Structure 1
Amino acid sequence: MSVNVQTSGQKVQNPKWRVPHVFVILISVIILATISTYIVPSGEYERVENEQGRTVVVDGSYSTVESSNASFLDIFQSIHTGMVNSASIIFYIFIVGGSFGILRATGAIEGAVHSISSKIQGKEQLLIPALMTFFALGGAMLGLAEETLPYITIMVPLVIMLGFDSMVGAAVVLLGTSAGFTAAFMNPFTVGVAQGIAQLPIFSGLGLRIIFFVIFLSVSIFYVMRYARKIKENPEKSLVFQESRQIFSSLEKQEKVEFTGQHKAAFIVLFLSLVTLAFGVSKYGWFLTEIAGLFLIMGIAIGLVSKMSFSQMSESFIEGCQVLVLGALVVGVAHGILVVLQDGKILDTILYSLASAVGSLPSQLSALGMYLVQCLINYIVPSGSGQAALTMPIMAPLGDLVGVTRQTAVLAFQFGDGISNIFTPTSGYFMAGLALAGISWIKWVKWIWPLILIHYTLGAIFVSIAHLIGYQ
């Protein structure tokens, strides 16, 4: 429960207008999508299964079909359908949150935070580029996104003890991972899938991608370090000052908690789990189901080495799930937008119209047009591999017609797909990360929007350079 404190002689002013809750925003978009089914002509592409077993659209197969207008009831049914369709992600988020709830209940995080913070006094700033680079490489090489959420639980209290705030802790993980995922040079879920559909050698064009990755990540690190330095000098300038102060107060109360042998054992289990995760993802192509199972095993193992009873583990697991209720449910509600567009048979019409607009542009602007289309599509299809399957069968041959190399088309998809993933409320894993850090979406947007504009500008510059040099 939140309490508004009014100091003597001061009046508490309630703003006349506040940004609506994220659910209000998402449901409003669902309503707009529903209305669109009465305005936008219905149409569909044919779809086939490619050699990799992935369902893709057939370029040139678009045709109008009988209208399938969404009803008033569909607005509300789409939310349930969206939750059912995205159940694997929703329950993955709950399992990760619950497993780390067990870790938090052991006190190991507090003990580790105090131990680490005392050892790196005076070198706090170096922690930011080192960890952001670590997370970025995970995004760039392994396509990690949801898998990095657990680190937020550790990073937020650590950076607060080092004199920063929870925004810095969340940014190190979310922004670091996103920078790598967006400017990836060998992400199997975006670059790999898109190049496969575009019939390019997998991970070809590596050299230029690495250069773009370094630039993109460096700009992101500079943005976080600049903010962190400001907060270090004056904590009251923090956008999450009250939230961070509450976390700091709770850590201060536990200052005498030592980093015990049981705590070390818990972190050994965590470390082995993360090593297993990296191996499973890279070697065997693990995805949500396998990773969720791994984290569930990890939570039980941490409870056992910490001498917790199974009842205590269960209670801690539930508490961990509660932290991520908002982020998990946002996934389902956001997916409802896609459900309305697909069932109303206007998603393909939107894609066809955007692709046609790109085809009518002068050759020198076609690459930028492709990039803009991918940026827009990502707001309604936030899945990287899903967006590749939807757009690349159209954009790759379209590029041949307008003089844009297929490698440049893949690059346009890559940046268009990734930038908004840590900005839009339709990105479920991102919203779950904010919930773990205790940061509202509104405050995050207020902090990050200048960097998002910079990222979009960098993406446009990179795509333009690739087009000018005939990137192959």
Structure 2
Amino acid sequence: MSLDTPPVAPEPAADNAGTAPAKRRFTFPSAFTVLIAVTVAVWALTFVVPAGRYDTKDGSPVPGTYRPVEVTTGFRERLGDLFLSPVNGLYGVTDTQSGLTAPGATGTFAGAAGVFLFILAVGAFITVTMRTGALTAGVARLAQRLRHHRAVLLVVLMAVFSLGGTTYGMAEETLGFYGLMIPLMLGLGYDRMVAATVVMVGAGVGTLASTVNPFATGVASDSAGIGTGDGILLRLTMWACLTALAAAYVLRYARRITADPTRSLTPLTEDDHRLQAESGGQADLTSRQRIVLGLFAATFLFMIFAVVPWADLHITFLPTLGWYFPELAALFIVAAILVGLLGGLREKGTVEAVTAGAGDFIGAAMIVMLARGVTVIMNNARVTDTILDALHEAVSGTSSSAFAVLMFGVNLPLAFFVPSSSGHAALAMPILAPLADFAGVSRALVVTAYQSASGWVNLITPTSAVVMGGLALAKVRYDQYLRFMAPLMGMLLVAVAGFLAFDAAVS
């Protein structure tokens, strides 16, 4: 999951001589501020953009049926839509007769309450697991066992962090692992850049190629009107290939600096030499931690099983459960309670961890609520189909492969301005996903294009607290990290575009 608020630089103080303090450095606004600004801007544009409508069939717009319509709501009603947009984004209902969304309407549920609760449930589950110490101990145990096979250890650790990224959007959780990775990698003869990128690039590439990540794939699929399991074969292939590419890139650098330490982008300091000498402690897993790790893995494996449409993949011996956000939220709530009790937190500790975890993730849930509110404003003003028609005209005539790459490109600047993957998904998918129907490709491909763009940008964006906070913990300068990442970012860009174009061409 992407953390929604970037780190704020401390205010410089005036010196004792009474000189004026240095100018405050500009910090990019949080995703909340960006989305509030977008909400107001979109509301204002609804008075300029003409209203229009497509005919629909099975929930999808029918090409060639767009027509202008007259808006019956006045300024007072429009102002009410702006005021109620967060509420509508959470539990608004679309009236079956008028097509307008309001909290007390009767008709089709349009809010993101299911996604909201699911995010809180995942947050509770992850926080409870972290408090048992099982995840940290598990990584430490793995590192101990592979200590004398450092190349294998590096690849395995990157794969583990990538697995966390692709399944649950591991992001701010990585900040707790730098204290473990830095002395470990230094002790193996590597530098701080290797320690930082094993964690950051590993989890980041996994998030880029999310398979069932609820904060990216889940929210985007919900906004696109498809199941989380749709398109999972492409995403699994991308995850395996891109993780291997990133691991090979980091391993190549690690071997280069081992052979010639002068080529390190982060030369060893006196403290680094001290950490090298002190590394080598033992790491043991308790029986409780083993049980917790097993339950943690089993929960995510079952989630994957529950959302994948096995029948559509022609796998008949596995039942298609068709679980969605209500069932998945219940799964993670129950799993959080079990992990806490079996992990030794007892009743009080489990309750505190569940509430703390839900509190930690409330920001991501509210981002989805705000973004869904923007969609409601556009729908009530009847401008969504107008924007969709304009985009359709812009991409009409392109091949399916070119369309897929174009969707990837369109989402890159959006990912910079809205670094929250869930907020980006809820904001962009209602408009971009229907374009797939016009282009003759699956909506799942647009979801994959969005999440790839979001993950690619969030590997390096300075608006991400995960990136800037991780580099601060690793004591790696941002310019050093960019220099390291530049070739890999180019390779990932080409690889993602190739995967999207190929899938569009053959599907």
Contact 1:81/1:339 (8 A) holds in 2: yes
Q: Which residue of 1 aligns with 2:56?
A: 47
The TM-score with structure 1 as length reference comes to: 0.66
- Does the residue aligned with 1:61 lie in a helix, a strand or coil? coil
Q: 2:125 aligns with which of 96, 99, 111?
A: 99
Q: 2:82 aligns with which of 75, 79, 102?
A: 75
Contact 1:90/1:328 (8 A) holds in 2: yes
- Does the residue aligned with 1:162 lie in a helix, a strand or coil? helix
CA pair 318-170 structure 1, distance change in 2 beyond 3 A: farther
Q: C-alpha separation between the residues in 2 aligned to 1:28 and 1:445?
A: 28
- Does the residue aligned with 1:40 lie in a helix, a strand or coil? coil
Q: C-alpha separation between the residues in 1 aligned to 2:157 and 2:70?
A: 53
Q: Which residue of 1 aligns with 2:434?
A: 390
Q: Deviations over 1:360-393 (max 9, x none)?
A: x5x6x78535642575379597269867862233
Q: C-alpha separation between the residues in 2 aligned to 1:137 and 1:261?
A: 23
Contact 2:404/2:501 (8 A) holds in 1: no
Q: 2:31 aligns with which of 22, 33, 39?
A: 22
Q: C-alpha separation between the residues in 2 aligned to 1:320 and 1:436?
A: 20
Q: Which amino acid aligns with 1:417?
A: Y
Q: 2:41 aligns with which of 27, 32, 43?
A: 32
Contact 1:43/1:346 (8 A) holds in 2: yes
**Bigger fraction of residues in helix:** 1
CA pair 337-15 structure 1, distance change in 2 beyond 3 A: same
The offset of 1:62, in angstroms, is 1.3
The offset of 1:300, in angstroms, is 1.8
Q: Are 1:372 and 2:406 an aligned pair?
A: yes
Residue correspondences, number: 415
Q: Are 1:313 and 2:346 an aligned pair?
A: no
Equivalences for residues 257-296 of structure 1 within 5 A: 258-282=284-308, 283-296=320-333
Q: C-alpha separation between the residues in 2 aligned to 1:136 and 1:154?
A: 16
Equivalences for residues 317-396 of structure 1 within 5 A: 317-359=354-396, 367-369=401-403, 371-373=405-407, 375-376=409-410, 379=414, 382=425, 390-396=434-440
Contact 1:351/1:391 (8 A) holds in 2: yes
- Residue identity over aligned pairs, in percent, reads 21
- Does the residue aligned with 1:328 lie in a helix, a strand or coil? helix
Q: Which residue of 2 aligns with 1:400?
A: none
Contact 2:167/2:300 (8 A) holds in 1: no
The TM-score with structure 2 as length reference comes to: 0.62
- Does the residue aligned with 2:391 lie in a helix, a strand or coil? helix
Q: Which residue of 2 aligns with 1:119?
A: 145
Equivalences for residues 165-176 of structure 1 within 5 A: 168-176=198-206
Q: 2:184 aligns with which of 152, 162, 166?
A: 162
Q: C-alpha separation between the residues in 2 aligned to 1:257 and 1:136?
A: 22
CA pair 214-172 structure 1, distance change in 2 beyond 3 A: closer
Structure 2: stretches of 5+ with no match in the other structure: 1-7, 92-110, 186-191, 267-271, 309-319, 415-422
Let me know the Cα RMSD of the aligned residues.
Answer: 5.4
Contact 2:158/2:198 (8 A) holds in 1: no
- Does the residue aligned with 2:209 lie in a helix, a strand or coil? helix
Equivalences for residues 119-268 of structure 1 within 5 A: 119-121=145-147, 123=149, 126-127=152-153, 129-130=155-156, 146=168, 159-160=181-182, 162-163=184-185, 168-179=198-209, 181=211, 216=242, 218-221=244-247, 258-268=284-294
- Does the residue aligned with 2:60 lie in a helix, a strand or coil? strand
The offset of 1:115, in angstroms, is 2.5
Contact 1:167/1:439 (8 A) holds in 2: no
- Does the residue aligned with 1:39 lie in a helix, a strand or coil? coil
